[in-house]
Amino acid sequence: MYHKLGIMEDKGYVVLRDRQGPAIEPAEWESLEYMDWKSGGDTNFAPLASATGEMDCRGFWDHGKADKDGVWTDNRKLAPSLARYVEEIGGNYGRVRVIKLNPSDEPTALRQLHLDDNNRLNPDGTGWVVRSWLELDDTPGETMFILREDKNDPSTEARVRLHPGMQLVIDTERLWHVVWHPGPRPRYALITSWESDQVIDSWIEREQLGRHEFAGARRLTRQDGLPGAGCQHMPGAVTVHVRQLAGRPVRPAICGRRAMCARRAGVRQSFAQENE
For residue 1, is it within any domain? no
When the pLDDT of each residue in the chain is averaged and rounded to a whole number, the result is: 81
Same domain, 194 and 220: no
Check residue 234 and give its pLDDT: 30
Average pLDDT over residues 217-222: 31
Same domain, 259 and 129: no
Same domain, 64 and 49: yes
Check residue 41 and give its pLDDT: 74
Kindly report, residue by residue over 117-131, the tens digit of the pLDDT: 999 999 999 999 999
**Full domain range(s) for residue 165:** 6-211
What are the residues whose beta carbons fall under 8 Å from the beta carbon of 91, sequence distance 6 or more? 194, 195, 197, 199, 200, 203
Could you give the percent of the chain with pLDDT greater than 90?
72
For residue 225, is it within any domain? yes
Position 196 pLDDT exceeds 80: yes
Same domain, 192 and 219: no
C-alpha to C-alpha distance for 58 and 73, rounded to whole angstroms: 14
Check residue 125 and give its pLDDT: 96
What is Dmax (Cα atoms) for the chain?
59
Check residue 38 and give its pLDDT: 76
Q: Could you say which of 211, 243, 260 is where a domain stops?
A: 211
Same domain, 199 and 226: no
Position 227 pLDDT exceeds 90: no
Kindly report, residue by residue over 132-164, the tens digit of the pLDDT: 999 999 999 999 999 999 999 999 999 999 999
Same domain, 131 and 191: yes
Same domain, 196 and 244: no
What are the residues whose beta carbons fall under 8 Å from the beta carbon of 182, sequence distance 6 or more? 103, 104, 105, 139, 142, 143
Check residue 169 and give its pLDDT: 98
Same domain, 58 and 194: yes
Same domain, 232 and 207: no
Check residue 211 and give its pLDDT: 58
Q: Find out whether 39 and 91 touch, Cβ atoms under 8 Å.
A: no
Same domain, 175 and 236: no
Kindly report, residue by residue over 184-193, the tens digit of the pLDDT: 999 999 999 9
Same domain, 137 and 236: no
> Residue 156 maps to which CATH number?
2.60.120.330
What predicted TM-score, i.e. pTM, was given to this entire model?
0.79
Position 221 pLDDT exceeds 80: no
Backbone angles phi, psi at 59, to 5 degrees: -60, 150
For residue 68, is it within any domain? yes
Q: Could you say which of 211, 227, 250 is where a domain stops?
A: 211
Same domain, 227 and 173: no
Provide the domain count of the chain: 2
Looking at per-residue pLDDT, the higher value among 72 and 269 belongs to 72
Q: Could you say which of 196, 211, 226 is where a domain stops?
A: 211
